[in-house]
C-alpha cells in the first residue's frame, strides 16, 4: 500500500525519554496534555514545545488527563487520574490577566511564582486502586473516574463559583467484573436526548471483563447501566463516541477496541415509536446481570454490533480515535502500527485506507488522538481547522501525523 | 512467609540444566588470511553480467564475521530467566523446572532473513508453577516479564503464560501478565517491587 494518506510531521520537542501514556488535545485551544510518569507536560501546538508542567500532585504515574471544557481562554483546568488511586484537579491562569487584576486591586504583583503556574487545587479520593481514566463531561459539570477496583465514580461540581473547587460523588457504579480501563461521555449532539426517559448525559465504560457498559441517569437522578455490549474476546481497552451528527438525529454510535485485536461499532436500536420501551423488558433481566428490578427493566437500551473494522492489528489495540469532523477512524497498539479507516456512508462498510508499521520504530504506541493543527507548517487559513493525528509511545515521543484521506 | 505453598519441591542440580552446546571455535588462524582473495566473487558473477545474488557464495564482509552480533535465541532467553530466584525457595527457577528450555519460543525464529531492528519479535515463555494452586504464579510470571523487558531490545514483545493445565487459574494469571497497564502499575507497588528485586538479585 503506498504511504499517501499518513505523513509524519516534525515531532513535539523535547523527547520525554520515558513511557508516555496519553496525549489529550484541548477542546478549543492549541494545547496538548501528555501524561507521563508522575506528571503531565502541556505542549503548545503552535510552537510544538512545552507550555507548562503539572508536577508534585501524584505519588505514582499519571495515566490520563482531561481538559475542563467551556472555560474562558485565559483559564485552564485539567483533571488527572493516577495509579496512586486519586484524581487531581489543577488550575492555571494566564499570569498577564492575573497581574492586571492585582494591580487594579492595588496589590503588589511581584510575589509571583515564575515557574509553577499550575495549582493543584483538589484531590478526589475514594477509589481503592489505580485510576485508569478520568474525564470531564461535555458540560464540565461532571467528572467520571474509573479504576482497577472495578468501579466507575461520577463526581458533580457543587462549587459556589468556577474557582471554588468542590466536587461531590453522586454515583458509584459497581457492575463491571474487572478493571474499568476507559470511559467516554457521549458528545453534545442533537440525537443525544431521548425523550422522557433519561437525563441528557450518557457515559460508556470499557473493561478488563471484555465488555462495554452504557450508563444513563434515570428520572430519579440515579445512574443506571442501560446496556452491556458483549462481543469482544479480550480486555476492551477503550471506547469512543461518534462525534458527527447522524442523519435524522439518530443517537451517536459507539466504537470499542480490544486486546482481541478488533474494533467494533455499536448502534442503538431505536424503535420508531420511542415510547415503545416495553419491547426490551423481557431480555432486560439477562442484560442487567439477573437483577430482578422491575424499574430497571424498562430502562434497558438495545445496542447492536453493526460493524467490525478491517483487521489490522495482531495484538492489543490500545487506542482508536474517531474524527468528529471527517468520520475517519485511526487505531494503534502493541504492534506499533498506525492504521486509518473510512466508512462508506452509503453501505456502512469500513475499508482500510492505510496501515503504517513502526509508527514509533520498535516501540509500542499507547495512544492516538485526532487534533487540530496550529503550527507554522499549515496554511494560516487552515490553522485550528485542519486535523492531524497525534500518537504517544513507550519511547516518550509525541508525534503528529498529517492525514489526507 | 509463614507457610510455604510447596514445602518440598524437586530441585535439579546445576549439571542437569540446559546449557549451550560447546561450539567448535571458528578458525581464525593464518589459513583464513587469504579468504578475501580465494572467496572473492568472480567478476563474471557481478553486474552487468549477473543480476542474481549468489546465495551460496560465501560472503566476506565484516558484519558476518565471528564477532558479529548473534541473534538472540531460546538458550539466551533461558540463561536470562532461569537464574531468577524462586520467591519462596532459595533456588533458581531453572533448578525448580519452573522455566524449561523447550517452553521458550521466539517468533519469527532467530536467523530468519529480513529481520531488522524494527521487526516485532515475540518471545513466548511458558512457566510451570511447582504446584497447581501456587499463589505465587503471578509473581513468578511478573519476574520473568520484567527481567526480559529490562534485557531485550524494544522490538521484543514478551508473552508470559502458565503452561497449559499447570495452574488451576491459568487463564486469569495469563490475562494479568499480558496486561501492560497492570504490569506497569504493579511495578510501582513498593511491596511487590521489593519481592521482584529480591528474585532478580541472583541474575547475572
Mean pLDDT by 10 residues, chain A (405 residues): 81 96 97 98 97 96 98 95 98 70 46 66 97 97 98 97 93 98 95 74 97 94 95 98 93 97 95 49 45 56 96 97 97 98 95 97 98 95 96 98 93
Asked if the Cβ–Cβ distance from A259 to B155 is below 8 Å, we say no
A83 touches B at CB < 8 Å: yes
Could you tell me which chain A residue has the CA closest to the CA of B181?
Answer: A132
What is residue B170's predicted lDDT score, i.e. its pLDDT?
Answer: 85
Confidence of residue B40 (pLDDT cuts 50, 70, 90): low
What is residue B10's predicted lDDT score, i.e. its pLDDT?
Answer: 85
Contact residues for B72 (Cβ-Cβ < 8 A; gap 6+): B106, B110, B152, B156
What is residue A107's predicted lDDT score, i.e. its pLDDT?
Answer: 43
> Which of A123 and B133 is assigned the larger pLDDT?
A123
pTM, 2 dp: 0.85
Asked if the Cβ–Cβ distance from A334 to B154 is below 8 Å, we say no
Asked if the Cβ–Cβ distance from A362 to B154 is below 8 Å, we say yes
SS3 state of residue A283:
helix
Task: State chain B's mean pLDDT as an integer.
Answer: 82
What is residue B26's predicted lDDT score, i.e. its pLDDT?
Answer: 53
SS3 state of residue A128:
coil
Per CB-CB distance under 8 Å, the chain B contacts of A335 are 120
Asked if the Cβ–Cβ distance from B154 to A63 is below 8 Å, we say no
What is residue B132's predicted lDDT score, i.e. its pLDDT?
Answer: 76
Q: Is the pLDDT of residue B90 over 80?
A: yes
DSSP A110-127: T---SS--EEEEEEE---
Q: Give the gyration radius of chain B's Cα atoms.
A: 22
What is residue B16's predicted lDDT score, i.e. its pLDDT?
Answer: 83
The ranges assigned to domains in chain B are 36-64, 71-200
SS3 state of residue A226:
strand
Q: What is the CATH number of domain B71-200?
A: 3.30.300.130
Domains in chain A, start-ordered, CATH in brackets? 6-403 (2.130.10.10)
> Which of B68 and B82 is assigned the larger pLDDT?
B82
A260 touches B at CB < 8 Å: no
Asked if the Cβ–Cβ distance from A83 to B175 is below 8 Å, we say no
Which of B119, B181, B191 has the highest number of chain A CBs within 10 A, making it the mutation to test binding with A?
B181
- C-alpha cell of residue A99: 497581574
To the nearest whole angstrom, how far is the Cα of A362 from the nearest Cα of chain B? 4
Residue A119: Cβ-neighbour burial (10 angstroms; 0-12, 13-18, 19+): middle
Contact residues for B86 (Cβ-Cβ < 8 A; gap 6+): B9, B92, B93, B96, B98, B130, B140, B199
Buried b vs exposed e over A180-203: b needs ≥16 C-beta within 10 Å? bbbbbbbbebebbbbeebbeebbb
Asked if the Cβ–Cβ distance from B153 to A394 is below 8 Å, we say no
Contact residues for B158 (Cβ-Cβ < 8 A; gap 6+): B122, B123, B125, B144, B145, B148, B149, B152
What is residue B161's predicted lDDT score, i.e. its pLDDT?
Answer: 95
Q: How far apart are CA A290 and CA A228, in angstroms?
A: 12
Per CB-CB distance under 8 Å, the chain A contacts of B182 are 148, 179
- C-alpha cell of residue B137: 504464579
SS3 state of residue A256:
strand
Q: How far apart are CA A231 and CA A165, in angstroms?
A: 40
Which of B149, B161, B188 has the highest number of chain A CBs within 10 A, making it the mutation to test binding with A?
B188
- C-alpha cell of residue B201: 538479585
Confidence of residue B194 (pLDDT cuts 50, 70, 90): very high
Closest CB to A335: pick one of B120, B175, B188: B120
What is residue A277's predicted lDDT score, i.e. its pLDDT?
Answer: 44
- Strand ranges of the sheet holding A211-217, from the earlier edge strand across to the other edge: A180-185, A202-207, A211-217, A223-230
- C-alpha cell of residue A337: 502500527
Per CB-CB distance under 8 Å, the chain B contacts of A61 are 184-185, 188
Per CB-CB distance under 8 Å, the chain B contacts of A316 are 178, 180
Q: How far apart are CA A243 and CA A91, in angstroms?
A: 27
B192, containing H or E segment: helix B190-200
A308 touches B at CB < 8 Å: no
Asked if the Cβ–Cβ distance from A83 to B188 is below 8 Å, we say yes
Per CB-CB distance under 8 Å, the chain A contacts of B157 are 315, 334, 364
ipTM: 0.88
Q: How far is CA B70 from the centre of its chain?
A: 13
Asked if the Cβ–Cβ distance from A362 to B155 is below 8 Å, we say yes
Q: What is the crossing angle of helices B190-200 and B137-151, to 10°?
A: 70
Closest CB to A61: pick one of B117, B157, B188: B188
Phi, psi values for residue A278, rounded to 5°: -65, -30
End-to-end CA distance of chain B: 26
Amino acid at each position: 500500500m503506498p504511504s499517501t494518506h499518513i505523513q509524519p510531521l516534525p515531532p513535539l520537542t523535547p523527547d520525554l525519554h520515558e513511557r508516555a501514556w496519553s496525549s489529550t488535545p484541548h477542546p478549543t485551544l492549541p494545547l496538548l496534555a501528555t501524561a507521563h510518569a508522575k506528571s503531565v507536560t502541556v505542549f503548545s501546538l503552535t510552537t510544538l514545545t512545552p507550555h507548562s508542567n503539572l508536577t508534585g500532585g501524584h505519588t505514582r504515574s499519571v495515566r490520563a488527563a482531561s481538559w475542563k471544557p467551556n472555560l474562558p481562554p485565559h483559564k485552564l483546568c485539567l483533571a488527572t487520574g493516577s495509579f496512586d488511586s486519586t484524581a487531581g484537579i489543577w488550575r492555571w491562569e494566564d499570569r498577564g490577566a492575573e497581574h492586571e487584576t492585582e494591580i487594579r486591586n492595588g496589590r503588589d504583583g511581584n510575589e509571583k511564582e515564575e515557574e509553577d503556574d499550575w495549582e493543584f487545587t483538589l484531590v478526589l479520593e475514594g477509589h481503592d486502586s489505580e485510576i485508569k481514566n478520568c474525564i470531564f463531561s461535555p458540560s464540565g459539570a461532571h467528572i467520571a473516574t474509573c479504576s482497577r477496583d472495578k468501579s466507575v465514580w461520577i463526581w458533580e461540581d457543587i462549587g459556589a463559583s468556577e474557582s471554588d473547587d468542590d466536587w461531590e460523588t453522586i454515583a458509584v457504579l459497581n457492575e463491571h467484573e474487572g478493571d474499568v480501563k476507559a470511559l467516554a461521555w457521549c458528545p453534545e449532539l442533537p440525537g443525544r436526548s431521548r425523550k422522557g426517559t433519561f437525563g441528557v448525559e450518557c457515559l460508556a465504560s470499557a473493561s478488563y471483563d471484555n465488555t462495554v457498559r452504557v450508563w444513563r441517569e434515570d428520572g430519579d437522578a440515579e445512574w443506571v447501566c442501560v446496556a452491556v455490549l458483549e462481543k469482544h474476546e479480550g480486555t476492551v481497552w477503550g471506547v469512543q463516541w461518534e462525534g458527527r451528527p447522524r442523519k435524522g438525529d439518530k443517537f451517536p454510535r459507539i466504537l470499542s477496541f480490544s486486546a482481541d485485536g478488533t474494533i467494533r461499532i455499536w448502534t442503538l436500536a431505536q424503535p420508531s415509536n420511542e415510547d415503545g420501551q416495553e419491547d426490551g423488558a423481557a431480555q432486560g433481566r439477562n442484560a442487567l446481570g439477573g437483577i430482578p428490578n422491575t424499574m430497571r427493566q424498562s430502562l434497558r437500551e438495545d445496542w447492536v454490533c453493526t460493524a467490525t473494522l478491517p483487521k489490522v492489528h495482531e495484538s492489543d489495540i490500545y487506542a482508536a480515535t474517531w474524527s468528529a469532523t471527517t468520520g475517519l477512524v485511526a487505531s494503534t497498539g502493541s504492534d506499533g502500527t498506525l492504521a486509518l479507516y473510512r466508512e462508506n456512508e452509503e453501505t456502512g462498510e469500513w475499508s482500510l485506507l492505510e496501515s503504517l508499521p513502526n509508527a514509533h520504530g520498535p516501540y509500542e504506541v499507547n495512544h492516538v488522538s485526532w487534533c487540530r493543527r496550529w503550527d507554522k507548517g499549515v496554511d494560516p487559513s487552515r490553522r485550528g481547522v485542519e486535523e492531524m493525528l497525534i500518537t504517544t509511545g513507550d519511547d516518550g515521543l509525541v508525534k503528529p501525523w498529517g492525514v489526507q484521506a | 512467609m509463614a507457610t510455604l505453598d510447596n514445602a518440598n519441591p524437586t530441585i535439579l542440580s546445576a549439571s542437569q540444566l540446559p546449557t549451550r552446546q560447546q561450539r567448535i571455535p571458528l578458525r581464525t588462524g593464518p589459513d583464513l588470511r587469504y579468504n578475501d582473495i580465494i572467496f572473492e566473487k568472480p567478476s563474471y558473477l557481478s553486474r552487468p553480467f549477473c543480476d542474481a545474488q549468489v546465495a551460496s557464495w560465501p560472503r566476506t564482509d565484516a558484519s558476518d564475521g565471528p564477532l558479529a552480533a548473534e541473534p538472540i535465541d531460546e538458550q539466551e532467553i533461558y540463561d536470562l530467566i532461569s537464574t531468577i530466584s524462586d520467591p519462596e525457595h532459595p533456588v533458581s527457577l531453572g533448578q525448580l523446572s519452573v522455566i524449561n528450555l523447550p517452553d521458550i519460543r521466539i517468533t519469527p525464529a532467530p536467523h530468519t532473513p529480513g529481520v531488522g531492528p524494527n521487526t516485532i519479535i515475540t518471545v513466548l515463555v511458558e512457566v510451570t508453577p511447582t504446584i497447581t494452586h501456587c499463589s505465587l504464579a503471578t509473581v513468578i510470571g511478573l519476574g520473568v516479564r520484567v527481567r526480559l523487558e529490562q534485557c531485550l531490545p524494544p522490538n521484543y514483545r514478551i508473552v508470559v503464560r502458565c503452561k497449559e493445565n499447570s495452574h488451576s487459574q491459568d487463564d486469569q494469571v495469563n490475562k494479568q501478565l499480558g496486561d501492560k497497564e497492570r504490569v506497569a502499575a504493579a511495578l510501582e507497588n513498593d511491596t511487590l517491587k521489593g519481592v521482584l528485586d529480591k528474585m532478580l538479585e541472583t541474575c547475572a
